[in-house]
Amino acid sequence: MPIEFSKKLTAHHTPIPGVVLYDLPVHGDNRGWFKENWQREKMLALGLPDFAPVQNNISFNEKAGTTRGIHAEPWDKFISVATGRIFGAWVDLREGPSFGAVFTAELDASQAIFIPRGVGNAFQTLEDNTAYTYLVNDHWSADAQGRYTFLNLADESAAIPWPVPLDQAELSEKDKNHPRLADVAPMPPKKTLVVGADGQLGTALRKLYDGDPSVEFAGRAEFDLGTEESFTARTWKNYATIINAAAYTAVDAAETPEGRRAAWAINVTAVARLARTAVEHNLTLVHVSSDYVFDGTREIHPEDEPVSPLGVYGQTKAAGDAAVSVVPRHYIVRTSWVIGDGNNFVRTMASLAKRGIAPQVVNDQTGRLSFTEDIAAGIRHLLATGAPYGIYNLSNDGPSQSWADIAADVFELSGGSRTAVTGVSTEEYFQGKAAAPRPLNSLLPLHKIQASGFQPRHVKEPLADYLADVLAD
């Protein structure tokens, strides 16, 4: 059967999620033919994942009827026919609702197919001297075979209509003895690693992902961001995503010589290592940023505002953001005034209200609280929906408030009086104290993350819930 020439490059989706069949333009004349088998820019424009291939393999098959599979490897594959013709069969062997879904097609040199990790691949040659090629995004190794998932070519539930009956085809003994679908252990998804998992945000992420075996949590004891060994000792091919919930957040201490070194080590050097790891292994990196990357002279801070940090803490967060921005698959989640487990402003004000102490609180710094439950939920949303990569502001919703406004709300919800809180300027509050400079305006507009389909809660709801728990202790 002759190859069809001059087809338009076209993508055809299939019943298996992520499996895409491509028509390739093949240009021929009296000398033969030429095609662009893999053209990254054009195929990305059609929606092909940027899967970063690293190895090219070719299977040559001398006789028609040669049958191979069904093998699900732990990497993505871009498959095409170099010469000849095949009947291809693909079965979803991944954990999830599409497990067992089947797609079949005949392919010649004018077609190619993208097969995600965990989808079983099989083919039967329809012509002699057929060459079947694989572009893969991980290097083959002997230990990788232990991570394969297999399905029997004759599985009754898949019911693949092989053109050459299997009892007349050329098969290997191994392929004859693979399990039926009912006995296949589905391939689990790649894992998400949460580093800094013992902090405020890490605690919220633990609660949110509780029971999800694909999410792994690492505190400092399990993953020390300050040591190179933590990065080199891990098998990154088993991971898809890193969520960085670690940070040095002692704003005033960062202005001291010791604090400055610690802030740069955690917020910049360690983040640069994470970014390098994500680039080298084609991972998604989620990183949490701060309103402190701005000087606060503007009333609001959209995602595209150039950074202008005032103090050491803000400078290190801005530098960490810059490192993360080079990762092709990154989310920088920019927050303000974070409230979660442990000591924080809301908990302190509730304690003062309970003890009948009337505080002076800064009234010229304005912004919004960001509860860690909502930050964690926003991160999960971005990852689960595959939102466009980049920077997203994420705080709770509601009007901009001063710290004094929030303190008054806390006093009222704690059974105290709003009038117990006295507002003072930042200059008055820190007079005679060693303190880092702070942005006066920290309001982060939420339009971008709302447009992605995520609506942060109005601050009144999580504040009331949080105080109910605090007051119950």
Q: Are strands 191-195 and 390-393 parallel, antiparallel or unpaired?
A: unpaired
**Is 132 part of the annotated catalytic residue set?**
no
Contacts of residue 325, defined as CB under 8 A and 6 or more positions apart, other chains included, come to 332
Alpha-carbon distance values, 226 to 41, 270, 299, 321 (Å): 37, 6, 36, 18
Phi, psi (degrees; rounded to nearest 5) at 92: -75, 115
CA 313 to mean position of chain CA atoms: 25
Report in angstroms the alpha-carbon separations of 47 from 18, 42, 133.
10, 9, 21
Instruction: Choose the catalytic residue: 22, 132, 134, 392.
Output: 134
* Calculated CA dihedral for residues 196, 197, 199, 205, nearest 10 degrees: 130
User: Residues 6 or more apart from 393 whose CB is under 8 A from it?
Assistant: 301, 302, 303, 334, 335, 444, 445, 446, 448, 449
Q: Which of 71, 148, 281, 381 is catalytic?
A: 71
User: Helix axis angle, 345-355 relative to 460-472, nearest 10°?
Assistant: 60
CA gap 65, 312 in Å, rounded: 68
Query: Packing angle between helix 312-324 and helix 257-264, nearest 10 degrees?
Result: 10
With residue 119 as reference, give the H or E element that holds it.
strand 119-125
Phi, psi of 16 (to 5 degrees): -95, 120
Token couple for 418? 């709003």
Q: In angstroms, how far is CA 280 from the centroid of its own chain?
A: 15
Number of H helices, E strands in the chain: 13, 25
> Could you give the angle at which helices 403-413 and 460-472 cross, rounded to 10 degrees?
50
* Neighbour count for residue 27 (Cβ, 10 Å): 11
- Using an 8 Å Cβ cutoff, are 174 and 315 in contact? no
For the chain, the distance separating the N- and C-terminal CA atoms, rounded to the nearest angstrom, is: 77
What are the angstrom distances between the C-alpha of 461 and each of 249, 395, 458? 26, 13, 6
Q: What is the secondary structure of 208-223 as a DSSP string?
A: HTTT-TTEEEE-TTT-
Q: Catalytic: 71?
A: yes
Give CA separation, 263 vs 109, 246, 309, 312, in Å.
56, 11, 14, 8
Residues carrying an active site annotation: 71, 134
